[in-house]
A and B are shown apart, each in its own frame.
Chain A
Amino acid sequence: MNDLTIIITLIAIGYIAGTWAEKRHYRSIEKREREFLDLPTVSIKNVNIDDAKVKKAEIVYGGAVISVDYFKRILAGLRNIFGGAVKSYESLIDRARREALLRMKAMAPDATMIINVRIETSTIGRKSHKKSVACLEAFAYGTAIYLEE
């Protein structure tokens, strides 16, 4: 009896806490994205600007680690049997990437623009034995450019 109760409790906690945390995180992401709306962030390598005008150029980066909740993990496990889009992980990756970008921007709030932006993802905390919970890390980096006024 104990095992089943524990599993059901974990799933319930995972669902309730996970949903609450996700909603809260999205609200925060959207709020900060609005604040940084005027900071252009692009993936192009070269911009057509006279070198003399560039006051400063520096690397900026931001990382975010988001963990799967238990409910999402079980849901993804069930999805693994039948195949198809693992919808329960989509929001996770989306949140991690956007959070990483936001933290990168937070490193250079006064920059004119950030160019050559790249995003990398990796899983951490995932061991060879299956029982450990996987976390997702998104890492964003780019070059912040400050122009002379």
Chain B
Amino acid sequence: MKYTARMPETNVNVTPTSPLREFFVLLSGVIAIIVGIYLLLGLALNIIVPRIPMTFERKMAGPFINSMASVDRSSEKAQTVQKLLDVIQGRYAKLPYTFTVYLQESPRVNAVALPGGNIVVFSGLLEKVESENELAFILAHEMGHYVNRDHLKGLGRVLVFIMISAVLLGPDSSVGNLLAQSLNITEMAFSRNQETLADEFALNALHSTYGHVGGSADFFIKLSKEVNAGLGGHYFSTHPENLKRIAHLKNYSRIHGFAEKLLRNIPAIINKKRPA
């Protein structure tokens, strides 16, 4: 056999392939898996949450309240809000919760339902409200989240997110923090359906408390004006767009024959800013 030296025609050791295509196929696979896990755990939450006993929920609440610096529950302002909440709780279907109001100094125009019946109201919200009925509606709305225990579901979803992010990106990854912030995860936790149900609960509570539902939409009317002013601010919010929400409130009131009557003045202490 005569040996003739020549170059090999093809390189069998390197697969001719498009690495970019492979990269995107694999990446979308990973993302699909993550989304799948997130959705599955979300479904599991819906099954688990109604079975969490109240005693356990109260235990869960401890670290939340302790970790919140500068919460205030003893000032006259906080006591006034608490009293209003107690009136609503007393007049309308009682929930198996002892509600406690906490005030927090913050420009956020919002209130948050935490485990164990702890409702945090931000001072930015109190500066905006103009009538007792308006504030009562917001408080009743937060109470409405406890009916279906939305707050636990929301919390669970946040935990799932943090867990997935920690497994994939490491425990203190700034990418994970960034995602959490840009998704505004704590406020996104409630779905539109949950918000609508809480709204309906609040309307009923308002009607039982005052005999009419005046002031129920005031807050959202105010908010919708602000959203139009500040573009993108509420982009990620799952609160149904405020206009739709107002329409639903009016519609629900009409069907159930809830009237709108004169509003009660807000106690002066509520609007007062804390001395700087």
A contact set with B: CB distance below 8 Å = 1-4, 7, 15, 30, 33-34, 37-38, 40, 71-72, 74-75, 78-79, 81-82, 85, 87-88, 90-91, 93-94
Expressed in whole angstroms, the minimum distance between the Cβ of B194 and any Cβ of chain A is: 30
In-complex Cβ contact of B173 among A1, A3, A88 (8 A)? A3
In the complex, B3 has a CB within 8 A of chain A: yes
Q: What is the size, in residues, of chain B's interface with A at 8 Å between Cβ atoms? A: 21
- Contact A88–B30 (Cβ < 8 Å): no
A-B residue pairs in contact (CB < 8 Å), sample of 19 = A4-B175, A4-B178, A15-B19, A33-B7, A40-B3, A71-B23, A72-B19, A74-B23, A75-B22, A75-B26, A78-B23, A78-B30, A81-B26, A81-B30, A82-B26, A82-B29, A87-B17, A88-B19, A93-B13
In Å, the complex CA distance between A66 and B11 comes to 19
- Contact B15–A87 (Cβ < 8 Å): yes
Provide the main secondary structure of the chain A interface.
helix
B contact set with A: CB distance below 8 Å = 3, 5-7, 11, 13-15, 17, 19-20, 22-23, 26-27, 29-30, 173-175, 178
The answer to whether residues A90 and B3 also contact, given A74-B23, A78-B30, A81-B30 and a CB cut-off of 8 A, is no
The answer to whether residues A88 and B22 also contact, given A34-B7, A78-B30, A93-B13 and a CB cut-off of 8 A, is yes
Once A and B bind, how many residue pairs between them come within 8 Å at the CB atom? 55
Closest 9 CB pairs of A and B: A78-B26, A3-B174, A37-B5, A91-B14, A94-B13, A87-B15, A3-B175, A90-B14, A87-B17
In Å, the complex CA distance between A87 and B19 comes to 8
- Contact A3–B178 (Cβ < 8 Å): yes
- Contact A79–B26 (Cβ < 8 Å): yes
In Å, the complex CA distance between A88 and B26 comes to 13
In Å, the complex CA distance between A38 and B30 comes to 49
In Å, the complex CA distance between A26 and B29 comes to 32
In Å, the complex CA distance between A88 and B11 comes to 15
In-complex Cβ contact of A38 among B5, B15, B174 (8 A)? B5
In Å, the complex CA distance between A74 and B3 comes to 43
Given contacts A4-B175, A71-B19, 13 further A-B contacts (CB under 8 A): A15-B20, A30-B7, A34-B7, A38-B5, A74-B23, A75-B22, A75-B26, A79-B22, A82-B29, A87-B15, A90-B15, A93-B13, A94-B11
